[in-house]
Structure 1
Amino acid sequence: MKKLLVKSEVPDLFVEPYITSAYRKPFCGPLQCIKYAFTLHNDVGNFWTHFLTLVIWITWLLFVMQDYDLSSDYYGPLLWCWIGCCSYAFFSSFAHMFSPLSEVMYHVCFMLDYTGISMYMYGGGVAYYYYERPLTLTFYSWEGVNIGLQVMVTMMALVFSCLSRFFWRRYRYTIRAMSFAPPFFINITPVILRWFECQGEECVLSSLPYHAYATLFTFLTVLPFVTKMPERLAPGKFDIFFQSHQLFHVSAAITTTSQMKLLLLDSRGRQEILTKNAQQTGIFPSASKLYSLFFIIFAVKLCVVILLGVLLKMGIVKDNKRKDVKHPKSS
């Protein structure tokens, strides 16, 4: 195993703010990247926080499938939301493991990470629309408009997050956080409106605590990501454990888990009233359409990442963290 490096020994491209040591040797091979997952370095916590989360969510899904018919039309949005959640945990783990491969792969890995997040936001948005929407407001009777809105805002979130790697260096973390703010507010708006417009049994929200947890931890997720706390206060003291990105990962996992739980509760708790409403409005999820649309959107987003990767390789777009990347001398 290669020795770990200090900040001055790695190219600026691979340096993270206020992290001064325990860097992996850049430009290593895939096998070396995998070996690094079992070494204490400054990115190992970021890998394991989401890889273990992925394992937990997949295991939980297997238990959920025993109680919910996720292959049915009604529970289709729940399945694709779950797949979206798992995709961001997978791509995050992939990015933190293989980002040292090369300059181009460093960016491609994290653009794939943003792709996973945007698919999670899209899957979650679709599930929120079908299970959380108020039934008394005309806007939410426009199924195509609401699904189209989810496609648009999550695509914009991906594009701006990716572009922040090449432009707007000073504000890149804020831009990435703000890019995913519109999907978040679009998702929670129907819950808030349903609460104010509810009548009778619709006013009894057994999922309310999980809505509160999800909202609280969403803001707690953004805080360390943007502020780079606590390592900003003590550079070098949080190089391996308890750095902001690890806190960001853990808080994001709690947020997503809360969202999964509330969707499980509300999809079953509102099944009768939503099915009855579907007979009047025709608003009912289609498993086959959800399947097709999910993969079409995923393919388009992958094309965005591939395009930017090619432009980066050709030198048409350039990393915004440094003017020049110098490869460290081999030991």
Structure 2
Amino acid sequence: NPRIPGLKGPENSYREPGILCGYRPPRSSARACLRSLFRMNNETLNVWTHLVPAGYFLWLFQGWLRVGWPDPGIWPFLAFLGTCCLYPLASSAAHAFSPVSDRARHLGYCCDYTALSLYSLGEPAFPGFMGFGEFGGVRVNRDSLQIPCVLPRFLEVERPQLSKASRISAFVYPYIFDSIPLFYRLWRCGAGGCSDGSIPLHLRHSLCALLTCAIFTSRLPERLAPGRFDYIGHSHQVFHVFGILGTHFQLEAVSMDMAERRGRLPLPSSLETFGSLGMAATASLAIIGICSLALPREKSH
């Protein structure tokens, strides 16, 4: 039964397979949601595994901003680092306030997906640092990929498998597309050898990305032992940890590549860097606004 015993209605549709206990009461107030972050429930570590790294990335961002803003060569990296701060913050907020209402839960996770969409756009903001030659100029419109990620939330109850498959494909495709320059570079280094110090970091990032996808799709370990990992160790928490580790390794690798390659390869202009992110953010917010119109309004009591 995918619903919480004793509860009825759409607000009782957020029960996860294999997670039996620890759910917060539906229609909790925002204050109750904040208090719940300091009591153990099945969302506590989902929030903190992203909130704490977000603070670390923000600390890195202000450091790079203070020393690097006068240098236009740092701007693409700052844009990417900004998206690294945004997506764990959005995820933390979505997990923290999801029980406020069914509408708030859907909108919160739509904003979470938007932040991930912007992160996938920020990844190739400096293609020359990660790729090789002609493979360093790839671009894709991530906003078109956000739509198959947001719309399946409306099928979450009726078609849960289709909803999950659509969301996974919406994230996997842009990752593979963005990583084509990196995969080409790793292949070149493996075939002919290279002295790039960032290669081990890129390999760690790729491994973390693979593990993140595998854990999210398999729902291990709670699928094998329902109820045993309700509070600590379920797949979404592990998924968060490997996702953040992958971002950390990626940041380290890219900063190393930036130091080694910035004099050899052209950089995108400030308009290409910040303009593309701005347009993507605007389009993403428009998508959320349109989709929110289809969500039912909460009834007043």
Using structure 2 for the length normalisation, give the TM-score: 0.89
2:153 alignment counterpart: 165
What is the rounded CA distance, in whole Å, between the counterparts of 2:263 and 2:26 in structure 1? 56
Instruction: State how far apart, in whole Å, the 1-side matches of 2:185 and 2:93 are.
Output: 38
Deviation at 1:117, TM superposition (A): 0.6
How far apart, in 1, do the equivalents of 2:78 and 2:50 lie? Answer: 20
TM-align CA RMSD:
2.4
User: Is 2:240 the counterpart of 1:242?
Assistant: no
Task: Give the equivalent residue in structure 2 for 1:205.
Answer: 196
| Deviation (angstroms), 1:47 | 0.5
Structure 1 residue 192 displacement after superposition: 2.9
Q: Which residue of 2 aligns with 1:292?
A: 275
Query: Matches of 2:258 and 2:130 in 1, distance apart?
Result: 8
1:85 and 1:206 mapped to 2: Cα distance?
Answer: 22
Shift of the alpha carbon at 1:171? 2.9
Pairing 1:312–2:295 present: yes
Residue 133 of structure 1 deviates from its aligned partner by 2.7
Q: Which amino acid aligns with 1:107?
A: H
Aligned to 1:223: 214
CA distance in 2, matches of 1:197, 1:75: 27
Q: Where does structure 2 lack aligned partners over 5 or more consecutive residues? A: none
Give runs of aligned pairs for residues 124-139 of structure 1, distance below 5 A: 124-127=123-126, 129-135=127-133, 137=134
Number of matched pairs: 290
| Cα pair 2:64 2:78 within 8 Å, conserved | no
Q: Distance in 2 between matches of 1:228 and 1:299?
A: 33
- Equivalent residue, structure 2, for 1:319: none
Matches within 5 A, 1:1-331: 7-10=4-7, 11-65=11-65, 69-127=68-126, 129-135=127-133, 137=134, 140=136, 143=137, 146-147=138-139, 149=140, 152=141, 154-167=142-155, 168-195=159-186, 203-274=194-265, 278=266, 284-313=267-296
The worse-fitting range, judged by mean Cα deviation, of 255-264 and 286-295 is: 286-295
**Structure 1 residue 71, shift from structure 2 partner:** 4.7
For the residues of structure 1 that align with 2:26 and 2:128, how far apart are their CA atoms?
A: 45
Give the 3-state SS of the residue equivalent to 1:180 in structure 2. Answer: helix
Alignment deviations for residues 164-192 of structure 1 (CA, whole Å, 9 cap, x no partner): 21234223223222211222122221123
For 1:281, the equivalent position in structure 2 comes to none
Rg (Cα) greater in structure: 1
After superposition, the C-alpha distances for 1:272-303 in whole angstroms (9 at most, x for unaligned) are 211xxx3xxxxx32224422321221011011
Task: Report sequence identity in percent.
Answer: 26
- What are the superposed Cα offsets for residues 93-121 of structure 1, whole Å, 9 maximum, x if unpaired? 01001111111111000111101111111
SS at 1:14 equivalent = coil
User: Structure 1's 71 and 13: CA in aligned 2 closer, same or farther, altered over 3 A?
Assistant: farther
For the Cα contact (< 8 Å) 2:43–2:95, is it kept in 1? Answer: yes
Given that residues 98 and 105 in structure 2 are in contact (C-alpha distance below 8 angstroms), is that contact kept between their aligned partners in structure 1? yes
Contact persistence 2:54–2:85 (CA under 8 A): yes
How far apart, CA to CA, are the structure 1 residues paired with 2:186 and 2:217?
31
- CA spacing shift, 1:228–1:197, aligned 2, 3 Å: closer
Is contact 2:54–2:88 with CA below 8 Å preserved after alignment? yes
Q: Would the aligned equivalents of 2:143 and 2:283 in 1 still touch at CA under 8 Å? A: no
Could you list the per-position Cα deviations for residues 50-81 of structure 1 after superposition, in whole angstroms to 9, with x for gaps in the alignment?
00010111122334446x62453222111111
Give the partner amino acid of 1:38: F
Query: Aligned partners of 1:42 and 1:93: how far apart in 2?
Result: 13
Superposition TM-score, scaled by structure 1 size? 0.81
CA distance in 1, matches of 2:172, 2:34: 33
Match of 1:321 in 2: none
Counterpart-to-counterpart distance in 1, 2:173 and 2:124:
11
Q: CA deviation at 1:131?
A: 1.6
What letter is aligned with 1:294?
L
